Homo-oligomer: A and B are copies of this chain.
Amino acid sequence: MELLETKVDSREIYRGKIITVHVDTVRLPGGKETRREVVEHPGGVGILALDHQGRVAMVRQYRYPMGRVVREIPAGKREPGEEPSLTARRELQEEVGATAGAWQDLGALLASPGCYGETLYLYLARDLTLGAPRPDEDERLEVDWVPLEQLVEECLDGTLQDAKTVAAILKVQLLLSKK
């Protein structure tokens, strides 16, 4: 089956600090045309930072679109042109105050591929050295350290809901249990 959709026209709606929104007319396989609403996002990273006691750095942060505090792994947006592996090092330092001696790529995630163009790169950070966090000026967050096993249970029972956080915790649990 032919699946490709081709752009006929694109109308920019909004170019903001983080996101860009455009509405495109696309041609479907077979020739019919339809509209696609697209939100572009620079992409970001999520870091599962695991200490020598098997505990993971978890961040509590008010997420304005959700209207509540959400518990997540440390994460952040890429600066323009920044390599995701450098974004990960920068965000772990800023949000947790940690540097890591060992980094492992956990693969990419598409946050919501129907409308939202964000790709997230996940990393496992180990061999940690702790210092003082340096959050962005308009970022307020609390960090605590939680045993990986407890977080796995909180993914399975629905307590943890952030998609990158659930994906990273369950990936690490299954990868470590294979060894």
Cβ of A86 within 8 Å of any chain B Cβ, yes or no, is: no
- Contact check, B162 vs A2: say whether CB atoms are below 8 A apart: no
What 1/0 mask marks residues of chain A from 68 to 86 whose CB sits below 8 Å from any chain B CB?
0110100001000000000
How far in angstroms is the closest Cβ of chain B from A68?
9
What 1/0 mask marks residues of chain A from 124 to 165 whose CB sits below 8 Å from any chain B CB?
000000000000011011100000000010011110011110
Indicate whether A39 sits within 8 Å of B109 (C-beta atoms), given known contacts A2-B140, A138-B32, A167-B170.
Answer: no
- How many copies make up the complex? 2
Among B1, B37, B65, B164, which residue has its beta carbon within 8 angstroms of that of A140? Answer: B1
Indicate whether A167 sits within 8 Å of B163 (C-beta atoms), given known contacts A70-B113, A117-B65.
Answer: yes
Indicate whether A111 sits within 8 Å of B64 (C-beta atoms), given known contacts A140-B28, A152-B174, A170-B174.
Answer: no
Cβ of A179 within 8 Å of any chain B Cβ, yes or no, is: no
B-side contacts of A164, CB under 8 Å: 163
B-side contacts of A106, CB under 8 Å: 158
Indicate whether A13 sits within 8 Å of B17 (C-beta atoms), given known contacts A107-B158, A163-B110, A166-B171.
Answer: no
What 1/0 mask marks residues of chain A from 1 to 39 whose CB sits below 8 Å from any chain B CB?
111110000000110111101011010110010111111
- Contact check, A107 vs B138: say whether CB atoms are below 8 A apart: no
> Can you list 19 pairs linking A and B with CB atoms under 8 Å apart?
A2-B140, A3-B140, A5-B64, A17-B35, A19-B21, A32-B138, A38-B65, A39-B115, A63-B113, A66-B119, A106-B158, A108-B161, A110-B162, A112-B116, A112-B118, A112-B163, A155-B167, A155-B171, A163-B163
Closest 8 CB pairs of A and B: A107-B158, A170-B170, A63-B113, A111-B112, A163-B163, A65-B117, A3-B62, A34-B138
